[in-house]
Amino acid sequence: MRATAIRRQHLEAIFRAGLRQVDPYRMVSEHLRLEGSRLRVASEEHPEELDLDAFERILVIGAGKASATMARAVEDLLGDRLEGGLVAVKYGHTDHLARVEILEAGHPVPDDNGVTAARRIAALAGQADARTLVIALISGGGSALLPMPLEYTDQGQTRSLGLADKQTVTRDLLACGADIREINCVRKHLSGLKGGRLLARLAPARSLNLILSDVVGDDLGSIASGMTTFDASTFAEAAGILERYGITRQVPEAVRRILALGREGRLPETLKPDEFDPARVTHHIIGSNRAALLAAAAHARELGYGVAALTSRITGEAREVARFLAGIARDTARHDLLAEKPACIISGGEPVVTLKGLGKGGRNQEMALAFLEDFAREPAEMAGIAFLAAATDGGDGPTDAAGAFADGDLLDAARAQGLSARAYLADNDAYNFYAALGGLLKTGPTNTNVCDLHILLVDRP
């Protein structure tokens, strides 16, 4: 087998080792234990124990790409003690549940199914009382999957933001290169659930929140737009994000009006720290990009690589991150900079893409293409180097690929077919470039989501 093919196999194996570590069923099962009526939550920071006999009802609610599989783990643990519940998932990210209902909805752009799911979860929250334990299962994608448009009063009339308006502002934010924190700040201030508003609806119930983080740094306020925690951001900050990216005038008039009313203090803010009651809510991050990164690194060592795990906090423009990693590849090839060859260098995080072209792709495919393009001027430098950037949820942008590879064989194939990496990159068309060459990684829905992994292999040519 060619050395390049072996490296590509190793890249995928290392990536999948990271996926296995953050399998949602595994994560819930490792963190929850039931001993009689005592539910124990294992946590490095704040382990806790709940007496289930103190509650008359136990419900599950949730949203995100991993929430169905998380719910299956809770069902298997609690059995008859669990009354039921509802989770919202991205289309295709389902599981087999007996007690908890699943609703599939749109992501990253919200749709009508998401509105239905949001209203039904809001209704469940409103029915919970002081003798109810609500287990909230939250993972990446939850924000888009529960789009409950904000109802507000303007000039004496009750109005509601339309779904089409939320879809438009979401697309605009994605296209302009806003990061997930900025996108979620705006979403919080246009929502009836986000920014702690779901938690407010749950009062006075006790809520236990199990979270699979898809946010760099694991900030609770950003994961699924912080539906069950307080929010320090403001209407003024949300409006400022639109201004900073120059999209204020292109977003719908209703969005501008809500943000203007909020800035003037004429609409209630999101849940603030002084309104947060820590006695009735706890949060546990049970999986993260860091966990996936460390598991991937361990598998790389098993395969015989010298390993350097850089960081789980990569952000910024995808193509700039790719060029940074290409520089590391060159230095490692020449000088064993970060690890002895054969070397595996791993990072994680969530870069962004500012759309300027009309092509098809996602941030990981764009990163792989930018990495390849960086070597196109001197293809001989790529001997012994292979790279994979992939999304842990299995869906990179609006495509059926998790990500893409970059190696010498792909560079040679592109040259043979007359495909210019630079031209495809300029049109944000990485998907079609790689589809023509067989360089896409397709995993299908993984039912987990902890950002992306970027894996670089450097061997002797």
- Whether residue 248 is contained in a domain is answered as no
Quick one: 122 and 209 in the same domain?
Answer: yes
Q: What is the pLDDT of residue 1?
A: 58
Q: Whole-angstrom distance between the N-terminal and C-terminal Cα of the chain? A: 15
Whether the CB-CB separation of 343 and 306 falls below 8 Å is answered with: yes
| Domain match, 221 and 340 both | no
Report the CATH number that the domain containing residue 440 is assigned in CATH: 3.40.1480.10
d(CA 142, CA 135): 15
The answer to the question of residue 130 being in a domain is yes
The answer to the question of residue 327 being in a domain is: yes
Q: Are residues 200 and 327 in the same domain?
A: no
Question: Is position 87 within any domain?
Answer: yes
In a domain, 171, yes or no: no
114 shares a domain with 63: yes
pLDDT for position 390: 98
List, in order, residues 6 or more apart from 382 with CB less than 8 Å away: 375, 407, 408, 411
Extract long-range pairs of 422-425: CB within 8 Å, 24+ residues apart.
422/373, 422/376, 424/359, 424/369, 425/319, 425/366, 425/369, 425/370, 425/373
Number of domains within the chain: 2
The strand pairing partners of 314, in sequence order, are 349
pLDDT in tens, the chain (461 residues): 588 889 999 999 999 999 999 999 999 999 999 999 999 999 877 899 999 999 999 999 999 999 999 999 999 999 999 999 999 999 999 999 999 999 999 998 889 999 999 999 999 999 999 999 999 999 988 988 999 988 888 888 888 888 899 889 988 998 898 888 898 899 899 999 999 999 999 999 999 999 999 888 888 888 888 999 999 999 999 999 999 999 999 999 999 999 999 999 999 999 998 887 888 999 999 999 999 999 999 999 999 999 999 999 999 999 999 999 999 999 999 988 888 899 999 999 999 999 899 999 999 999 999 999 999 989 999 999 999 999 999 999 999 999 999 999 999 999 999 999 999 999 999 999 999 999 999 999 999 999 999 999 999 77
Question: Does 197 share its domain with 328?
Answer: no
Q: How far apart are CA 24 and CA 27, in angstroms?
A: 5
**How far is Cα 300 from Cα 351, in angstroms, rounded to an integer?**
23
- Residue 209: strand pairing partners: 136, 283
Same domain assignment for residues 55 and 125: yes
**Measuring CA to CA, which residue among 243, 241, 237, 214 is closest to residue 226?**
214
Q: Are residues 281 and 303 in the same domain?
A: no
Q: Are residues 8 and 74 in the same domain?
A: no
Asked whether residue 280 falls in the same domain as residue 315, the answer is no
Choose the final residue of a domain: 244, 261, 287.
287
334 and 297 in a single domain? The answer is yes
Please check whether residues 294 and 418 belong to one and the same domain: yes
Q: Is residue 108 part of a domain?
A: yes
249 lies in some domain: no
| pLDDT in the model for residue 384 | 94
User: Could you list the residue range(s) of the whole structural domain that residue 383 is in?
Assistant: 3-15+290-458
Q: Which residues contact 335 (CB under 8 A, 6 or more apart)?
A: none
One domain for residues 302 and 444: yes
CATH number of domain containing 42? 3.40.50.10180
Tell whether 263 is covered by a domain. Answer: no
